[in-house]
Homo-oligomer: A and B are copies of this chain.
Amino acid sequence: MPGARRAAGMHRPRPPPPEEPPALEDQDLLLAAAYVSDAQYNRNVPFETSPQAIRLYYFYNHWAMQVATYFFICVDLSLALFEEPALFPLPFLVTSIAEVLCLTAFFGRLVHFAKVTPQMVFWKDTKNICIMVTIVLTLVDLIVYGILEALNVYGIRWSRALRPVFLINFPESRQIRRAFRSIRNTLPDVLYVFLLFIFSVGTFSLMALKLFGDRSLKTVEGSPYFTNILDIAFELYVLVTTANSPDVMMPAYEFNWWYSLYFITYIIINTYIFMSVFLAVVYNNYRKHLKNEIRTLAYLKRRKMIEAFNILKVKVGTESVVKEAQWRRLVKVVAPDISSSHLELLLRILDEGQKGHVDKVNFLRLPDLLNIQVITINVKRHPLEAWMPRVYQSSASLLVQKVVRHRVFVWAYDVIILINAIFIALDEKNPFISYAEWLFLSLYIIEILLKLYTYEPRAYFGRKQFWNWFDTLIIIAALVATVANTTIQSARKYNSQQILDIVLILRILRLLRVIVSIQRFRVIVTTLINIGPTMLTFGGLVLVVYYVFAIIGMEAFHGRVHFFGPNSTSPDALACGNSALRDSAFARGKYCRNNFNDLGSLLILLVELTVVNQWHILADGFALVTHQVAKLYFIGFHIVVVILIVNIFIAFILEAFFVAYSLEKSEVETAIEKKIQELGVGVQEEKVQDGSLVENMDAKDSGFSEDNKKKDLKGLYFRIASKKYRTVDALLQQMFESETAPEEEGPSLEEILNFSPADIYPKNPNFENSA
């Protein structure tokens, strides 16, 4: 009778099952565990199943090895800071030894990987070939450059532009690779639109030459207007980026009103329509390939779990199942740190009938369950209550707690923050105002202390209590910095500028708290925080592209333009140290600081080019000092970064918002979440976030004593990651899985790895359309 068994709880001494299977080989268990943990972390690497290979595979996936890899990648990339032209110069010998060390590490990692995966798979994977070729090329370049250096001949370290290959091609940076794959897949479609666009610009250039070329008009700067077809094409290309609007139009417009219609037509066709078409094409491809990738990952996960199941399964009646004992051993290997109560909880969810074994459908759920965060929420009392119950429960203390929990308390502090903002805006040299700052600081400290008094401290500083941590850290840092500054000031009669700046920024960041206390805003902020991690992927992508362009730019344009400091009186300062720039728009705009002389300046310069405005002045400036060659560099950068990467970024943000929106509407919930809700052991993240956690727990506590079944699990809850806090990937995968029948095995491994976006297998209408 299942009811009776359940009532007995999970702590009853379990009778040995009638037919215990022969103990599995450790080898098989390790293999199954490797499959499960692959599924859990969504790795899509096939590995060999020999005992030695599995042990190597575990070692390969060890966190220390991954950290070491990233460390070497960072070292390799940051070498550019120390090589000529350097921010911090180091001799060539030092940097080259460091680089060889990195290359050795990469090679070692690759060899390790080769030992783990089947030969066929290893050699078919372009990633591995790429890394090997890059290592060889880098070594060749190092040797050639070293010899040239020894002979005092000028050489170019061209292989430095290849360094991002290591960042892209290691299996761990899947997100960056996916973005690159998106770009690569988009290229053919974008190319056709681009050719059409170039044709359009060319046609308009020809028209402009004929319409304006013979009018002997002058630009604002007095040079001839639209007389050379190449110059016109460049000007019109710049107009697409809007950077020279309306200056490029003014001479023609002043000459005759009707000529402005030419420019308006041009802008509508090329700036608005073509640029939107680029976005549409990029977005469409991004969408298509994202879905394909998610599908591949989902099927791969299922396939690996089936492999693991097949290793562990035994027959019970007509059904293949995994025995409880085997299952426990497996989970212990996959997640060595799991607590025994957590393990019991998992088992209880997967083996609901407490039949002593886990069937296939439930077994497949294991990786999702392992990915769900578990927290022990103590229905424990506040430490002060335990320590001095009389005082903590006194009516005064209860009143304080009630006040702190009241909404008015939050509002009062919002008002205080706004008043603080006004004080910050006022002049702080007034001593009264600087005293006020102390007052505000102490008010904030009192707030935190009061909250700690009211709420259970461990709940208040829970793992995902982002805003509580934010508050406390900012206040403590502000306190430390203010005290440090006062000490220095009274000791040396001198304000440390750095510390003041930090105090100031901390003080202003506190204003963010007002936003968080307004519900409507919190939703938007949460979505933005949610897509934050994936935006870092784009950081990686941009870093790669910037790095390549930076290295090329440094080699090509280094030292052509000099910056003499804002207070320089040198006559060369006005021409950025290059007579070709005298009286150019570049020098007049005081853009000398935007140069290619070191990585720091380059980073800023490339950001400016990404923002687009005035890029034609920068391009013209460098074109003047390099006989027009530089224009190709700037146009190339614009095409790659602005037309491709920025559009992919926009596509990503649009997609993230749409997925969040369609999920909100369709309320997709996985079977696992339902099960957890049924058992009554789930806590919605929102409640934890709200800071109302403790009350919520108190309420549940009283309910518990009436319900034996729930009481068993007292003190242990599954926290279901809030929908808002999930990544787009996780959401999409969830949508896909919720539409696939749990029994379905999906296509074979071979098929999965060769998925193309055109194969729709099986057709998931919602997933296909909304993703």
Contact = CB atoms under 8 A, between A and B. Distances in A.
Interface of A: 192-193, 195-196, 199, 203, 206-207, 209-211, 217, 220, 229, 242-247, 249-251, 253-255, 257, 260, 264, 267, 271-273, 276-277, 279-281, 283-284, 421, 424-425, 428, 501, 504-505, 508, 511-512, 514-515, 520-521, 524-525, 528, 535, 563, 565-566, 589-591, 593-594, 600-601, 604, 607-608, 611-614, 646, 649-650, 653-654, 657-658, 661-662, 765-766, 769-770
Nearest to A539: B268
A491 B582 CA distance: 51
Contacts of A769: 662, 765-766, 769-770
A249 B242 CA distance: 20
A245 to B, nearest CB: 4
A591 B250 CA distance: 7
B613 A613 contact: yes
A254 B613 contact: no
B246 A608 contact: yes
A611 B566 contact: no
A657 B210 contact: no
A229 B425 contact: yes
A243 B766 contact: no
A324 B245 CA distance: 65
Contacts of A192: 520-521, 524
B250 A593 contact: yes
Contact of A590 (B220, B607, B770): B220
Give the most central of A193, A253, A283: most B CB within 10 Å. Answer: A253
B528 A273 contact: yes
17 contacts: A210-B428, A210-B504, A211-B501, A245-B611, A245-B614, A246-B613, A247-B614, A250-B593, A254-B563, A254-B566, A257-B600, A257-B604, A272-B646, A276-B649, A277-B653, A280-B654, A769-B770
Contacts of A277: 524, 528, 653, 657
A524 B193 contact: yes
Main secondary structure of the interface of A (DSSP, over half): helix
A592 to B, nearest CB: 9
Contact of A607 (B264, B424, B591, B611): B264
A18 B53 CA distance: 88
A657 B274 CA distance: 12
A243 B241 CA distance: 11
A508 B207 contact: yes
Given A246-B591, A254-B593, A267-B607, 17 more contacts: A192-B521, A196-B515, A199-B515, A203-B508, A207-B505, A211-B501, A211-B505, A220-B589, A242-B612, A245-B613, A245-B614, A253-B604, A260-B604, A271-B611, A276-B654, A277-B524, A662-B769
B245 A608 contact: yes
B196 A243 contact: no
Nearest to A205: B425
A614 B209 CA distance: 25
Nearest to A600: B257
A261 to B, nearest CB: 9
Contact of A566 (B251, B260, B273): B251
Nearest to A656: B280
The 5 closest A-B pairs by CB, nearest first: A769-B769, A280-B657, A276-B653, A246-B608, A769-B770
Nearest to A280: B657
Contact of A650 (B279, B504, B604): B279
